[in-house]
Amino acid sequence: MVSFTCDYTEGAHPRILERLLETNLDQQPGYGEDVFCESARQKIRLAAECPGADVFFLVGGTQTNATVIDALLQRHEGVVAVETGHIAVHESGAVEASGHKVITLPPHEGKMQASNLKALLQRFHADPTKDHMVWPGMVYISYPTEAGTLYSKQELSDIQAICQEYEIPLFVDGARLGYGLMSPAADLTLPELARLCDVFYIGGTKVGALCGEAVVFPRGNAPRHFFTLVKQHGALLAKGRLLGIQFDTLFTDGLYFQISRHALEMAARLKDLFLRKGIPLSVDSPTNQQFPILTPAQMQALDGKVLFEVWDTLPDGRAVTRFATSWATTEQQIDLLAALL
């Protein structure tokens, strides 16, 4: 049985495990004050070319989104996101649980359109009843998006410009950041991303780590007492070293980007395979997630041999599916899939 269901079906990249073994007996303080976290912070600042950045390591994506959003918003404010945004759909209301509304815009291929954002903010600020409403207090986007698509540098700049005009911060959820930045379709580098937003996170869980997300405030602009808020949100790891060692390894010799490129190459092979077999793609994704539309016969051919996710069933019986690749995906696995389709 081979699984393409997601990019977190295996453990961690072997170099991470090696490093966990090597450092296991080093005695270090907890809560992110260890030498590994400090080293990882420094490497991330270098990679993102933001020497004054504040960097925090949290454990998972939902808690990271909830903590960052809660830290940046005032009580009367909500966060603007597209309807398909992770925080709006698949986080069990973690943002609302900390008291804030998710204000939604319709997505375009999974992306927020600057024009929609601008219209929302204009309409809000022109509304004489706005003091009876939830104020749009920040913007949340995912890079890559939940649909596997990418913002261009121009699109991101446009969104940033609007945020700056309205003086609200822009937060980029980078749970799969590497699969965006390393995509041949990307026209953005990590330093550029860092300049184009107020806070972003570098996803570890889905890019080769056992767990962990690195939150970066590029201009040293973390809210005061962010550490205490991380603790309050239950997102502070006692053995912070586990996160420090992983991110230190991922940002040594470009491993994070190497993992991302590998997964993207495997995804390109998947896409080739689907197109060769005449299988249409629901979205033209340049990232590590591919969304082929399979017939019942194709799905039956894979049954019991290849695992993947079913996202939607079409009226004609076909299914929109998701195949994801990771550091662990091999050519052999794709060949096996090819042989079955």
Q: Which of residues 121-180 bind its own copies (CB under 8 A)?
A: 128-129, 131-135
How far is residue 112's CA from residue 145's CA, in Å, rounded to a whole number? 9
91 contacts its own copies (rule: CB under 8 A):
yes
- Tell which one of 45, 62, 193, 282 touches its own copies (CB under 8 A): 62
- Tell which one of 47, 55, 78, 266 touches its own copies (CB under 8 A): 78
How far is residue 220's CA from residue 237's CA, in Å, rounded to a whole number? 22
Site for its own copies in 196-225 (CB under 8 A): 205-206, 210-211, 225
- Tell which one of 38, 39, 49, 101 touches its own copies (CB under 8 A): 101
Task: Give least dist CB 110 to its own copies, A.
Answer: 17
How far is residue 219's CA from residue 197's CA, in Å, rounded to a whole number? 10
Residues that bind its own copies (rule: CB under 8 A) add up to a total of 79
- Tell which one of 46, 97, 275, 314 touches its own copies (CB under 8 A): 97
Question: Are 4 and 334 in contact, with CB atoms under 8 Å apart?
Answer: no
Site for its own copies in 225-244 (CB under 8 A): 225, 227-229, 231-239, 241-242
> Which region among 63-71, 147-155, 267-275, 297-305 touches its own copies (by CB under 8 A)?
63-71
How far is residue 279's CA from residue 258's CA, in Å, rounded to a whole number? 29
12 contacts its own copies (rule: CB under 8 A):
yes
Task: Give least dist CB 99 to its own copies, A.
Answer: 5
Q: Select 239 or 277, whichever has its Cβ closest to its own copies.
A: 239
Structure tokens, 309? 């996710």
User: What count of Cα atoms within 13 Å lies in the side-chain half-sphere of residue 298?
Assistant: 19
Q: Select 60 or 191, whichever has its Cβ closest to its own copies.
A: 60
Chain centre to alpha carbon of residue 38: 23
> Peptide bond preceding 144: is omega within 30 degrees of 0, i.e. cis?
yes
Task: Give least dist CB 215 to its own copies, A.
Answer: 13
User: What single letter denotes the amino acid at residue 143?
Assistant: Y
> Which region among 68-76, 114-122, 182-190, 279-287 touches its own copies (by CB under 8 A)?
68-76
Q: Which of 200, 260, 250 is nearest to 56 (CA)?
A: 200
- Tell which one of 9, 39, 116, 258 touches its own copies (CB under 8 A): 9
> Which region among 100-108, 166-174, 181-189, 281-289 touches its own copies (by CB under 8 A)?
100-108
Any bridge partners for residue 290, and if so which?
323
Task: Give least dist CB 96 to its own copies, A.
Answer: 4
Q: Select 92 or 184, whichever has its Cβ closest to its own copies.
A: 92
Q: Which residue bears the tokens 């319709």? A: 106
Question: Are 2 and 305 in contact, with CB atoms under 8 Å apart?
Answer: yes
74 contacts its own copies (rule: CB under 8 A):
yes
Q: 102 by DSSP, 3-state: which?
A: strand
> Which region among 26-34, 162-170, 262-270, 284-292 touches its own copies (by CB under 8 A)?
26-34
Task: Give least dist CB 164 to its own copies, A.
Answer: 19
- Tell which one of 38, 39, 49, 60 touches its own copies (CB under 8 A): 60
336 contacts its own copies (rule: CB under 8 A):
no
Any bridge partners for residue 319, and if so which?
294, 313
Structure tokens, 176? 């799969």
Task: Name 307's Cβ contacts closer than 8 Å, sequence gap at least 6.
Answer: 1, 2, 3, 4, 5
Other C-beta atoms within 10 Å of 303: how many?
10
Other C-beta atoms within 10 Å of 48: how many?
23
Site for its own copies in 245-304 (CB under 8 A): none
